[in-house]
Structure 1
Amino acid sequence: MKSKILFLLFTALLIFGNFSDSSAQKKKLTYKQVYESGRDMRAMMMTMSRPQGWADENYYLETKADPAKPGSRPQLMKTNALTGESVVYVDNSNIQLPEGFSIDRPSAVSKDYNYYLFNQKNNLYYYSKPDNSFKQLTNDDAEEKVAKLSPDGKKVAYVKKNNLYVYDVELEKEIQFTKDGTDLIYNGW
């Protein structure tokens, strides 16, 4: 009997506890926010969090604006999973990239957040935070697909014309590993 009462009490707390904080979930978007791109939509998107993974067993990583600095650019934040408190994990606020590139939207990033890869207009671009250098890796009409950085950030693997390539950033050299890519043979997928 005692366990039945505890079960009912626990169930009631779960049900009523979930409904009490749901008012934030019911905020309605305006017509302008939904259908018109503009400053309001960009501002709304800048405040949205993008989960990036786990820093350790207690903290997860997310890209969001620093709550201590309203209107700031999104940064990689380390957030306590229990309390929700966030601190800046990687500060990219001073990085200036060429027009059309954003450090907040790389195609790939190294595990230590020092090397960033961008895929734009069928070419690959690379940013090194330690060197504060930005360079174009490829320059041809072929599309580079599924580009990934090596764990140390010094090499980039990708598929081009259905063949597997690696670009060695230090040697500034593109190396083709396969030559049999066709419409039927997709190397590197």
Structure 2
Amino acid sequence: MTVFTYAVQTSQDQGRTWTTGRIGAAGPDWIREGADTLDPAHVASDVLDKEYREHLEGDGAEPVPLLQVLVWDQPVAQGAPTATSSTGTDSQWQATGDLIEEIAADIRHFEVEWETEKKRHEAAAASTQTAIANAKARLARVVNSAARMQMPQVSIAHRAGRSREWVRQITS
């Protein structure tokens, strides 16, 4: 199996000068699904897309440079490349559009998840408020019964964890 070597170059001055950045190798694990062999053009395109995406997702402090990927069908980067791929001639608009769609889909997913969680918490809060209201009404009924049985207000207040004033208001 042929191993391809690739080099990523960048230019900040519209291609007048190029700086070689990362150099790597592509082996059998780079074969695209459904393909029988490793294609140098696919290696160049895949590396370019990955590099372009990394620059797009950067901090935005600098504009995305021009990128080009050179691929050789030998273990060293020398001589004429077998394949090349560069921004302006390949699929950077597709990569940018794909990234925009991915981010927008993530946002939509998180918004739906947030709305679902919000509704669940609101339902739980409403259920808790209903439970509190029911418990307060039940406590008031029992306090009224205790007062009618001549249980001392101090004892009722102490057991209820409330003030004697509260007991007076409930029983009046």
* Both proteins in one fold, TM over 0.5: no
Name the one with the larger strand percent. Answer: 1
Name the one with the larger helix percent. Answer: 2
Higher Cα radius of gyration: 2
Of structures 1 and 2, the one with the larger relative CO (CA 8 A, separation 6+) is 2
